[in-house]
Amino acid sequence: MNQKKIILVTGATGAQGGSVAKALLAKEDYAVRVLTRNAASAAAHNLRLLGADVVEGDLDDKQSLARAMKDVYGVFGVTNFWEHYQQEYNQGKNLIDAVKQAGVTHFVYSSLPSYKKLSNGELEVPHCDLKGELEEYTKSLGIPFTFIHIAFYYENFFSFFPFKLAEDGRFHFGFPQGYTKLAMVSVEDLGGVVASVFNFPIAYTGRTVGVVGADETCDQYAATLTRILGYPVQYDYIPRDIYASFGFPGAEELANMFEVQRLYIPSRQLDLIESYGLNPAMQSFEQWVTKNKERFVQSFLVQPEPAVV
Ligand code: NAP
């Protein structure tokens, strides 16, 4: 009979939950149950091969959450704004209600602070503001929680913010972060932090842990990319109003996000120090770029015609 405490990981077929599930499975201290809408997916299959118990469920389906949380000790929760938008709030609430009803001993929830509050009500950033409200809801129910505030992923350079080759022959990235430090991290390193948080519940219950692998200016990141990749990479400060006017879905939201960070979050050095303590295998930006050099170079080689920046 398996006597290990069970931890349910949501989002395990994705970036954050995947990192957490893999870190917990590697340490073998806990039995890992993962929640997915599709137990037949390749990602679910891979988790099964690593030893996870894969259960089907949906954050929109309260009964499936109650089933998935039967006999669990801990839950790692993550909700996905970029697929569900405002519905993220209801999904998070369903998750939190299920945690409460199941009497979970340690709920580790990947949230974010309310940027609306940080900016004294000036700038709305729904994917952060919703998570901030969900934190308040968790507290109101008296749940033993740890909130995780993961920084901007390094991996965003391969997804949301790819470089663009410009007519000056340089590879550019740009947004309204300005010259304020931008905290970043490899999402791969989240799992090591969360595993330590589960291992030290007395120290971390009731606390918020920021997960940060690097805390530098965008100019410094550009210099590191240029040095390691051997191609000129440049950061462009694009002021908030210009970025918001780009018109792509989420442009205003992201413009506000960077603007709040530029004006109200000068540094996350303390989060960085704590992250490396909780997960000594955290990757610096330089280490991560070096590891991914070939992938970057391949993405440069398939660039479309130079854009005017
Ligand atoms: P992801 O890689 O896209 O994975 C999304 C996961 O959510 C999948 O495993 C998916 O599982 C699961 N999921 C989605 N809808 C579900 C539902 N209705 N029921 C059950 N599971 C569901 O996303 P991620 O990057 O890990 O996390 C996204 C969140 O990270 C966002 O809310 C964002 O605000 C936050 N975040 C991102 C950054 C960043 O820099 N990108 C930084 C901080 C925070 P199945 O498809 O298998 O069901």
| pLDDT score of 308 | 59
Strands across the sheet containing 214-216: 152-153, 182-185, 214-216
| pLDDT score of 7 | 98
- Which atom of ligand 1 approaches the CA of 128 most closely? 34
Model confidence at 91: pLDDT above 80: yes
| pLDDT score of 309 | 56
| pLDDT score of 259 | 98
Model confidence at 94: pLDDT above 70: yes
Please state, in angstroms and rounded to a whole number, the distance separating the CA atoms of residues 17 and 195: 12
CA 10 / ligand 1 centre spacing (Å):
9
Residue 65: Cβ within 10 Å count: 25
- Which atom of ligand 1 approaches the CA of 84 most closely? 15
Min mean pLDDT across 6-15, 24-33, 297-306 is at 297-306
- Which atom of ligand 1 approaches the CA of 127 most closely? 34
* pLDDT tens digits along 114-151: 999 999 999 999 999 999 999 999 999 999 999 999 99
Please state, in angstroms and rounded to a whole number, the distance separating the CA atoms of residues 137 and 160: 30
Ligand 1 neighbourhood includes 78 CB (under 6 angstroms): yes
Ligand 1 neighbourhood includes 109 CB (under 6 angstroms): no
CA 17 / ligand 1 centre spacing (Å):
8
Model confidence at 2: pLDDT above 60: no
CATH number of 6-143: 3.40.50.720
The chain-wide mean pLDDT, for the chain, equals 97
* pLDDT tens digits along 224-240: 999 999 999 999 999 99
**Quick one: what percent of the chain has pLDDT higher than 90?**
95
The tokens of 29 are what?
Answer: 């201290």
Mutate to test the pocket of ligand 1, among 35, 46, 78 (most ligand atoms within 8 A of CB): 78
CA 306 / ligand 1 centre spacing (Å):
33
Model confidence at 3: pLDDT above 90: no
The tokens of 156 are what?
Answer: 């965003």
Please state, in angstroms and rounded to a whole number, the distance separating the CA atoms of residues 291 and 223: 17
Ligand 1 neighbourhood includes 131 CB (under 6 angstroms): no
CA 82 / ligand 1 centre spacing (Å):
8
**Quick one: what percent of the chain has pLDDT higher than 70?**
98
Ligand 1 neighbourhood includes 16 CB (under 6 angstroms): yes
Q: Exposed e or buried b for every residue in 46-56, given b needs 16+ CB within 10 A?
A: bbeeeebebbe
Pairing of strands 214-216, 182-185: antiparallel
Ligand 1 neighbourhood includes 81 CB (under 6 angstroms): yes
Ligand 1 neighbourhood includes 262 CB (under 6 angstroms): no
The tokens of 58 are what?
Answer: 């949906």
| pLDDT score of 301 | 85
| pLDDT score of 278 | 98
| pLDDT score of 305 | 72
Ligand 1 neighbourhood includes 82 CB (under 6 angstroms): yes
DSSP 156: G
Confidence of residue 302 (pLDDT cuts 50, 70, 90): confident
Model confidence at 55: pLDDT above 80: yes
CATH class of 155-181+214-266+284-301: alpha beta
Q: Helix, strand or coil for residue 74?
A: strand
* pLDDT tens digits along 232-275: 999 999 999 999 999 999 999 999 999 999 999 999 999 999 99
- Which atom of ligand 1 approaches the CA of 80 most closely? 32
* pLDDT tens digits along 178-222: 999 999 999 999 999 999 999 999 999 999 999 999 999 999 999
β-bridge partners, 185 = 153
User: Domain map of the chain by residue range?
Assistant: 6-143, 155-181+214-266+284-301
The alpha carbon of residue 120 and the mean position of all alpha carbons in its chain are separated, in whole angstroms, by 24
